[in-house]
Homo-oligomer: A and B are copies of this chain.
Amino acid sequence: MAKYWSRPAAEALKADGLRIADLDTSATPGFSGDKAMGLGLLAERATLLSGLQEKLYANGRSGDKRSVLLVLQGMDTAGKGGIVRHVIGSVDPQGVDHAAFSVPTPEEKRHHYLWRIRKALPRGGQLGVFDRSHYEDVLVVRVHNLVPPAEWEPRYDEINAFERELVDEGITLVKVAMFVSLDEQKRRLRQRLERPDKYWKFNPADIDERAYWPAYQDAYQAMVDRTSTAYAPWHVIPADRKWFSRLAVTELLIDALETLKLDWPSAKFDVEEELRRLDKA
């Protein structure tokens, strides 16, 4: 366990029994350091993460089918993009399978909601990242009645079965739900409106969505209550402090990778013989 943590992040951030409406989004559960300590630790742990990811990639190249998939969910401005940029950005891009799921395209709409998800699953040895995911189909879809309850209601069980299948195939799921307060969201949206270099991140609909905050909290609560399983638990990350959410996700990924107990792949050739051949080549 990394320093300044009183318990492993995977444990401190577990969604079990947590009331999202009561969440202190400025807290740093399990972490006793301040921002400077957090940033220092983040730099250190990013190096470890990068090393573990390289081992995963090396094993993938040697035929290992296992992979790790980070699933990021969170309201607008919660910092999902920052996780990709700053946490996933610390590992080798060759080993990253990144997918962002936005409003379904006309083609995607003609298919089952898991169709586009299956197509984007990480290949063996890869670190997959889903910026939004199949969970949109029990979040925005539920909040805005995009389909009737009789259609989204069975999805929780269906998603659990789907994820069981993924885990059985060797995908380690790291599911992360990030939350900022309504005030912090307002601050971040305002920044996007005050800085011309951030206009492109702003969408007027983000303001409209704020009226649905309670409905989203209910939908997120149902999501973590009903799809947090032993094999694919949810982690809830208070995200008002960007440094903390980045550190927390880094720790969760390190934990997932360490659990795989990866070693460097063994040589599939006779090392001495190849050294002799090389000398003469």
Contacts and interface: CB of A to CB of B under 8 A. Distances in A.
A45 interface: no
Contacts of A268: 199
Interface string A182-212: 0000100110011011011110100110110
Interface residues of A, number: 46
Contacts of A96: 93, 98
Contact of A93 (B98, B186, B271): B98
A267 B199 contact: yes
A149 B268 CA distance: 35
Interface stretch (A19-27, A83-91, A172-180, A227-235): A83-91
Given A199-B264, A274-B207, A94 B281 contact: no
- Total copies of this chain within the assembly: 2
Contacts of A210: 281
A88 B93 contact: yes
Given A193-B278, A207-B274, A85 B89 contact: no
A92 interface: yes
A62 B202 CA distance: 11
A131 interface: yes
A59 B210 CA distance: 26
Contact of A269 (B84, B202, B211, B264): B202
B278 A207 contact: yes
A275 B193 contact: yes
Interface string A62-88: 100000000000000000010011001
A183 to B, nearest CB: 11
Contact of A197 (B100, B264, B269): B264
A75 to B, nearest CB: 13
A98 B57 CA distance: 15
A58 interface: yes
5 contacts: A85-B92, A89-B93, A199-B271, A200-B264, A207-B274
Given A193-B275, A202-B274, A210-B281, 12 more contacts: A81-B94, A88-B93, A89-B91, A93-B98, A94-B98, A94-B100, A193-B274, A196-B264, A200-B264, A200-B265, A204-B269, A207-B278
Give the 6 A-B CB pairs with smallest separation, nearest first.
A58-B200, A199-B267, A210-B281, A85-B92, A200-B265, A197-B264
Interface of A: 58-59, 61-62, 81, 84-85, 88-89, 91-94, 96, 98, 100, 129, 131, 186, 189-190, 193-194, 196-197, 199-202, 204, 207-208, 210-211, 264-269, 271, 274-275, 277-278, 281
